[in-house]
């Protein structure tokens, strides 16, 4: 028999359904206290089909995108985090709409507009939409619709989704790896989020505090050997350090691109090709510098019955994130990786702009 669905879990599922809908280009309605904001994601919707039937197009874009487009001064509200709604005063093509949404195309499409920015009918719903786009790994840009969407969610559904602690260990097996032929892997499944995380236990578990690393997914660095970042070498150095300790646990968190998703990270790379650093690139795309939430790692440690860790990291936010969730970080162990000509600037930026201790 299926377990009873708590209201918290029902809310998280509603947000998950909305994120799924956005990835497929389907409309969603975000309910606020004062009405519903009906939206279609610019990135995934069939724009040609959509545009053929309308004379007016309204778009919701992030505050930083509006800043780049020099639209912030037209806005009545003083809240810098508020998205901006614009109305196009000409018959825009799909290509033009995508160019408004995607900062990577700014050099190809330097002239945009004219636009009128409009008062937001539902400011809180608009903020929630930006958060949903990030969870879905999409550009934070939407068409604002008059037609009511079938799939509706409420603002606090997204909070329930982000805070969902319904995580279970779904699989456990031996996984001989180069660092330890006797390693074990645990697979975790979350009720709200379709992403699966894993923990690799290296060495023989005993009463001592394990050496732990929270490693956020980096497909380009971990798998392809990208020289732009330090992820791959850090991952392997961490496994090496664990194999020399009594025991260690690597939590491989599926938080690609510091939580903005693979495609958005590749967009950030394209902006870096144009001269922006890793921090500015994220912001230009309309995202936080670091969108990760390390509470998922704390829940994984809890399920593994690990209350205290020695944490391998240069990032003070990982220490604070775990301690804030009740995990005792007995020691921070730095992970030192030699820089190369391609990641030197990235590592300097992490030190100078995001407080990494290198």
Ligand X SMILES: Nc1nc2c(ncn2[C@@H]2O[C@H](COP(=O)(O)OP(=O)(O)OP(=O)(O)O)[C@@H](O)[C@H]2O)c(=O)[nH]1
Q: Which residues define the annotated binding site? A: 213-218, 229, 231, 234, 256-258, 278, 313, 318
Question: Which DSSP category does 222 fall into?
Answer: I
d(CA 226, CA 53): 44
Nearest CB to ligand X, comparing residues 38 and 282:
282
- Binding-site member from 39, 100, 101, 218 for Zn ion (CB under 5 A): 218
234 touches which of Zn ion, ligand X, none (CB within 5 to 8 A by kind)?
Answer: ligand X
356 touches which of Zn ion, ligand X, none (CB within 5 to 8 A by kind)?
Answer: ligand X
Nearest CB to ligand X, comparing residues 14 and 356:
356
Exposure string (b/e) for 144-173, b if CB count within 10 Å is 16 or more?
Answer: bbeeebeebbbbebbbbbbebeebeeeeee
Specify the stretch interacting with Zn ion by CB under 5 A; choose among 38-46, 157-165, 186-194, 212-220. 212-220
Run of H or E residues at 152: strand 151-154
DSSP 23-63: HTT--EEEEETTEEEEEEETTTS-HHHHHHT-S-EEEEE-H
Q: Is 295 in the site for ligand X (CB under 6 A)?
A: no
Q: Is 234 in the site for ligand X (CB under 6 A)?
A: yes
**3-state SS of the chain: helix, strand, coil percent to 5?**
40, 25, 40
d(CA 290, CA 288): 5
Annotated binding residues for Zn(2+), written as ranges, equal: 218, 229, 231
- Binding-site member from 314, 321, 329, 347 for ligand X (CB under 6 A): 314
Nearest CB to Zn ion, comparing residues 139 and 337:
337
Q: How far is the CB of 230 from Zn ion (least distance, A)?
A: 7
Catalytic-role residue among 134, 154, 284, 292: 292
Nearest CB to ligand X, comparing residues 3 and 341:
341
Taking CB under 6 A as the rule, which mask of x and - marks residues 213-232 in contact with ligand X?
A: --xxxx----------x-x-
Question: Between the CA atoms of 112, 271, 357 and 298, what dihedral angle is there, to the nearest 10 degrees?
Answer: 80
Q: Is 254 a catalytic residue?
A: no
Q: Is 13 in the site for ligand X (CB under 6 A)?
A: no
211 with 333: CB under 8 angstroms? yes
Catalytic-role residue among 290, 348, 351, 352: 290
Q: Is 318 in the site for ligand X (CB under 6 A)?
A: yes
Angle at which helix 344-353 crosses helix 278-285, to 10 degrees, equals 70
User: Which single residue is written with the structure tokens 């602690």?
Assistant: 165
161 with 15: CB under 8 angstroms? yes
Q: Is 221 in the site for Zn ion (CB under 5 A)?
A: yes
Question: Which DSSP category does 217 fall into?
Answer: -
Q: Is 348 a catalytic residue?
A: no
Residues 241-280 that bind ligand X (CB under 6 A): 255-258, 260, 265, 268, 278
Q: Is 315 in the site for ligand X (CB under 6 A)?
A: yes
Question: For 300, how many CA atoms within 13 A lie in the half-sphere containing its CB?
Answer: 30
Binding residues for ligand X, rule: CB under 6 A, are 215-218, 229, 231, 234, 255-258, 260, 265, 268, 278, 282, 313-315, 318, 335, 356
The residues carrying an active-site annotation are: 290, 292
Binding site for Zn ion (CB under 5 A): 218, 221, 229, 231
């Amino acid at each position: 028999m299926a377990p009873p669905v708590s209201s918290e879990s029902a809310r998280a599922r509603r947000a998950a359904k909305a994120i799924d809908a956005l990835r497929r280009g389907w409309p969603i309605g975000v309910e606020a206290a004062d009405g519903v904001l009906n939206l279609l994601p610019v990135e995934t919707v069939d724009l040609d089909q959509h545009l053929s039937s309308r004379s007016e197009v309204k778009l919701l874009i992030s505050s930083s995108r509006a800043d780049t487009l020099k639209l912030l001064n037209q806005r009545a509200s003083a809240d810098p985090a508020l998205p901006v709604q614009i109305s196009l005063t000409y018959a825009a093509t799909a290509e033009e709409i995508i160019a408004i949404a995607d900062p990577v195309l700014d050099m190809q499409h330097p002239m945009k507009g004219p636009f009128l920015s409009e008062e937001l009918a539902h400011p809180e719903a608009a903020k929630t939409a930006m958060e949903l786009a990030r969870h879905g790994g999409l550009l934070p840009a939407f068409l604002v619709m008059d037609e009511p969407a079938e799939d509706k969610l409420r603002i606090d559904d997204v909070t329930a989704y982000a805070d969902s602690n319904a995580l279970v260990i779904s699989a456990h097996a031996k996984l001989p790896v180069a660092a330890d032929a006797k390693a074990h892997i645990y697979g975790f499944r979350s009720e709200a989020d379709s992403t699966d995380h894993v923990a690799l236990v290296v060495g023989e578990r005993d009463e001592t505090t394990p050496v732990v690393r929270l490693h956020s997914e980096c497909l380009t660095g971990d798998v392809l050997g990208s020289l732009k970042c330090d992820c791959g070498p850090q991952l392997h150095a961490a496994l090496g350090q664990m194999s020399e300790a009594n025991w260690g646990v690597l939590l491989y968190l599926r938080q690609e691109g510091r939580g903005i998703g693979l495609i958005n990270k590749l967009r950030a790379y394209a902006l870096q090709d144009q001269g922006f650093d890793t921090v500015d690139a994220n912001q230009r795309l309309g995202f936080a510098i670091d969108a990760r939430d390390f509470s998922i790692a704390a829940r994984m440690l809890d399920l593994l019955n690990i209350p205290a860790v020695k944490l391998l990291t240069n990032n003070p936010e990982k220490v604070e994130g775990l301690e804030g969730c009740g995990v005792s970080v007995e020691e921070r162990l730095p992970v030192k990786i030699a820089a190369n000509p391609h990641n030197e600037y990235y590592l300097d930026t992490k030190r100078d702009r995001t407080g990494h201790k290198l």
